[in-house]
Amino acid sequence: MQYFNLHTHVYTRRENILELVNQYPQEFDAALPNYSIGIHPLFIDESRLESDFEVIEQKISSPSCLAIGECGLDKRSETAFEIQLQVLERQFLLAEKHQKAVVIHCVHAFQELVALKNKLKLTIPIVIHGFSKKEQLAKQLLDNGFYLSFGKNLLQNPEMETVFVNTPNDRFFLETDMVEEGIEEVYALAAKYKKITITELQQLISNNFNSVFKNKQ
């Protein structure tokens, strides 16, 4: 594994990239070699919740399932926030039971996310994907045990440089999500910001991968 892409919706089939491809229960693709599976807060369908959870429970034990997610909280969602909290809590508890990492989507609800993690006393790694906020929030999340994943906003917002540079080397990942740029471009900018070589960055992220995803390579 030369590159690890923590979160993408497109499987590129390139041998030098391990891609954690996002899957939704109702659109499951068994052909993907490594995936996360979860119920996104924008796409909660209460009439389908139980069948969605059945699919997640069927797939979570597969070696190809590296994480639960993306799941989380989003105050833009039409789904009532209390329902979002319940759905996320169920996914957290499943992840804890099976000792899988969780990939989180969070919009305008970080305080509630931290509170839920602490209430449940979770021990599993939790990664905030697509982190785009200020250093104060980054520090709070890191202090509460979260990992941060950087992608689109690192490429598009120069103000993210300081946040990224100040994120400890053992607590971050890189991703593409849905941007056109490849993971190599994200790595190149990240290495520049950290003032290290691509090879050194690859080793850092490989170490983080082994720590979070239990040596699945």
105 marked among binding-site residues: yes
Give per-residue pLDDT as tens, 17-75: 999 999 999 999 999 999 999 999 999 999 999 999 999 999 999 999 999 999 999 99
- Output the pLDDT for position 217: 42
Among residues 18, 23, 63, 60, which one has the least CA distance to residue 205? Answer: 18
Give per-residue pLDDT as tens, 60-89: 999 999 999 999 999 999 999 999 999 999
pLDDT range class, residue 1, cuts 50, 70, 90: confident
Cα separation values, 191 from 7, 9, 44, 164, 169, Å: 19, 24, 37, 11, 11
Which residues of the chain form beta strands (DSSP E)?
Answer: 3-8, 17-23, 35-37, 65-74, 101-107, 126-128, 147-150, 172-174
DSSP-assigned letter for residue 8: E
45 marked among binding-site residues: no
The domain ranges of the chain are 3-212
Rounded average pLDDT over 8-15? 94
129 marked among binding-site residues: yes
Tokens (6 digits) for 112: 């509630």
d(CA 6, CA 174): 6
Q: What is the mean pLDDT of the chain?
A: 96
Residue carrying structure tokens 């100040």 = 166
Q: CB under 8 Å to 136, separation ≥6 — which residues?
A: none
- C-beta neighbour count of 62 within 10 angstroms: 11
For residues 164 and 172, is the Cβ–Cβ distance under 8 A? Answer: yes
User: Edge-to-edge strands of the sheet including 126-128?
Assistant: 3-8, 17-23, 35-37, 65-74, 101-107, 126-128, 147-150, 172-174
143 marked among binding-site residues: no
> What percent of the chain is predicted at pLDDT more than 70?
99
Any idea which architecture 3-212 has in CATH? Answer: Alpha-Beta Barrel (3.20)
- 192: β partners: none
Rounded average pLDDT over 146-160? 96
pTM (predicted TM-score): 0.96
